[in-house]
Amino acid sequence: MYHLVFSADENYIKYTSVLITSIVLNTDKSKKIQDFDKNSNIKNEKYFFHILSNFISDKTREKLLNLQNDLNIIFPCEIIIHIKNDEDFKNFPISGAAHSLKLPYYRLKLSSIFNEKIEKCLYLDSDMLCICDIREVFAIDLKGRVVGVVGDPGSKKSKIKFKENNKKKTFYFDENYFNSGFLLINLEEYKKYDIERKCEELASKCYYIKAADQDLLNATIETKLRYKFDFAYNFSTIAFCYVICKDENKNRLNHTRDEFNKSIKNPKILHYGEKPWKFLKSYFDYKGNNINDYWWDVASKTPVFNEELLKSKKDITNYLLCAGLGRELFDAILKFNFLKVNFLIKNTSHDEKYIQKAKSIENDFFGICCILGNAIFYARYYKKNFFGVYFKALKIIYNFKKYHFKSRN
């Protein structure tokens, strides 16, 4: 039995259904769990897909039941819904992904939904796509550790600030900081070390926290209690554009360049930054394929939800504006055209022209344009000034030019 957990609100269920479908479709029915773990005593293999949510309508519940029935024909599976209440997380601060709802915190109380007989579960973010047989993850021996994790490719200079005994304290993260989108949890050890209580206790004391549940888990689970997975199992798609490895900067991705280059050639689970339901095109993989096409291919095969998803695909165009703005910003930075940078932020009258220009951006350059375009979107939405965009873009372009082609060798 394999227990997988996702968190999704009513609007996100259709995207979760694509991830669930990718897991089922990539299960090799010619193999048994013993092909991955010869010591396993599992006989009746079945997926249990647990969805944590704050609300799911009757209509969506019916869709999920039909999805279950259709996928069950391919491989035994069951979808189970767990409704939680934001009120149960009143002590948890508004932060990062939890800026409007407390849904991201729901994963912290995973152990409470399972009985003592279940040894491990796998939590996955809904903006992922499985392209391996997921049973190989469950076959991993965590060797008594609390959780199996994948390092986050971002900067490790973040911190949590909290008050304890009326004194201000700061917890600094290090190079072992992990991404909470992939968590293979040893439920016995998770309970033994009382991770749920520790997270809530720390959350109630925080007055500065950036990445919600992710920061709390990193602060409460000691490094020695973590099993380190290859980056391939939580392959953050921005890494197709560029990534900085630990032999280049210890505070970035906690894998060497050689280790990373093995992962980029054979990613197991893709973790999308530019969501495919918003971007029809973003990064291109080692084989030169548009990674968003992989997601849409599975979406077209997803029972029940495929028609709704494909219908929405026709209206996705904003990514072209994003890439077009990014292309203009790239050129403006290289030419030290400060007025142009400011114009891109303040003026929207030329947006249609940028959309048209985006259609001619070469594939290998499209991803960096999306990243830069998002910087313009952010500045427009939050009314940021020229300086923030300029220095951010300067850093992005520098890293792209220095590290992009290292991932292709």
Q: State residue 156's pLDDT score.
A: 80
Torsion sign across C-alpha atoms 198, 3, 152, 223? positive
The more confident residue out of 114 and 127 is 127
- Residues constituting the chain: 409
How far apart are alpha carbons 272 and 234 in whole angstroms?
A: 10
Summarised one tens digit per residue, pLDDT across range 130-177 is 999 999 999 999 999 999 999 999 878 789 999 998 899 999 999 999
Say whether pLDDT at 331 is over 70.
yes
List, in sequence order, every residue forming a beta bridge with 208; answer none if it has no partner: 161
Q: Residue 163: which H helix or E strand, with range?
A: strand 159-164
Predicted local distance difference test score (pLDDT) of residue 80:
97
- Confidence band (pLDDT; 50, 70, 90) for 352? very high
Res 333: pLDDT = 96
Q: Output the pLDDT for position 100.
A: 64
Q: Look at residue 43 in the predicted model and tell me its pLDDT.
A: 82
Query: Residues of 364-377 as b/e, b for ≥16 C-beta within 10 angstroms?
Result: ebbbbbbbbbbbbe
Residue 379 has pLDDT above 70, yes or no: yes
318-334 and 363-382 are packed helices; what angle lies between their axes, rounded to 10 degrees?
A: 90
95 has a pLDDT exceeding 80: no
pLDDT for the residue 94: 81
pLDDT digits (tens, 9 = 90+) for 52-86: 999 999 999 999 999 999 999 999 999 999 999 88
In the block, residue with structure tokens 């921005």: 238
Q: Which range, 110-114, 116-120, 289-293, is most confident?
A: 289-293
Express each pLDDT in 6-44 by its tens digit: 999 999 999 999 999 999 999 999 999 999 988 888 888
Q: What is the spatial distance between Cα 209 and Cα 213, in angstroms, rounded to a whole number? A: 9
pLDDT of the residue at 116: 83
So what's the pLDDT on residue 109? 85
Residue 407 has pLDDT above 70, yes or no: no
Alpha-carbon separation of residue 273 from 129, 238, 239, 383 (angstroms): 12, 7, 10, 23
Around Cβ 324, how many Cβ atoms within 10 Å? Answer: 25
Is the pLDDT at 409 greater than 70, yes or no? Answer: no
pLDDT at 97: 64
Using 50, 70 and 90 to split pLDDT, how confident is the model at 322? very high
- pLDDT at res. 39: 86
What is the mean pLDDT of the segment spanning 267-283?
97
- Tell whether the model's pLDDT for residue 99 goes beyond 70: no
The whole-number pLDDT of residue 393 equals 97
pLDDT at 160: 93
Cα 104 to Cα 98: distance, rounded to the nearest angstrom: 6
> Domains of the chain, with CATH numbers?
2-312 (3.90.550.10), 317-408 (no CATH)
Distance CA 33, CA 31 (A): 7
d(CA 159, CA 211): 9
Would you tell me the crossing angle of helices 318-334 and 351-358 to the nearest 10 degrees? 90
Query: Tokens 């890293």 sit at which residue?
Result: 399
**Alpha-carbon gap, residue 359 to 338, rounded angstroms:** 25
